[in-house]
C-alpha cells in the first residue's frame, strides 16, 4: 500500500481528470462531472491507493466531486499552494 497522496500524485491525478477519459473539458466550457468522485476513485484504485482513506483526505482538502479535485486541489497546488497547509486548513474548517 502506498503512503498518502503527495503533490506529484495530485498532478498525475489532475492530468487524468483533465483528459477525455474523465472530465473531458470542451472548448465551449462544458465538462463531464457526475457530482461524485468516480473518476478519482478509479484512478486511486488503478494506482493501488487505499481508496477510502484517500477519499477522506480529498474531502478534507475541499473536493467532493471530480471537477472539484481539479478546482480545489490541483489548481491551487499548481499555483504554489502547500499541500500540508491546505490539509491543515481543511481540518480546521471541518
The residues that touch Zn ion, with contacts defined as CB under 5 A, are: 33, 65, 67
Q: Which of 72, 10, 66, 18 is nearest to 42 (CA)?
A: 66
CB of 25 to Zn ion, least distance (A): 12
- Our CB check for Zn ion shows the closer of 36 and 53 to be 36
CB of 3 to Zn ion, least distance (A): 26
CB of 90 to Zn ion, least distance (A): 17
d(CA 32, CA 88): 30
- Tally of CB atoms within 10 A around 9: 18
Please give, one letter per residue, the 3-state secondary structure of 55-86. HHHHHHCCCCCHHHHHHHHHHHHHCCCCHHHH
Amino acid at each position: 500500500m502506498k503512503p498518502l497522496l503527495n503533490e506529484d500524485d495530485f498532478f498525475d491525478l489532475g492530468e487524468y481528470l483533465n483528459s477525455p477519459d474523465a472530465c473531458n473539458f470542451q472548448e465551449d466550457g462544458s465538462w463531464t462531472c457526475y457530482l461524485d468522485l468516480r473518476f478519482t476513485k478509479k484512478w486511486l484504485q488503478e494506482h493501488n491507493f487505499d481508496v477510502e482513506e484517500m477519499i477522506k483526505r480529498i474531502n478534507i482538502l475541499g473536493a467532493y466531486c471530480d471537477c472539484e479535485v481539479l478546482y480545489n486541489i490541483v489548481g491551487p497546488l499548481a499555483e504554489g499552494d502547500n499541500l500540508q497547509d491546505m490539509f491543515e486548513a481543511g481540518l480546521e474548517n471541518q
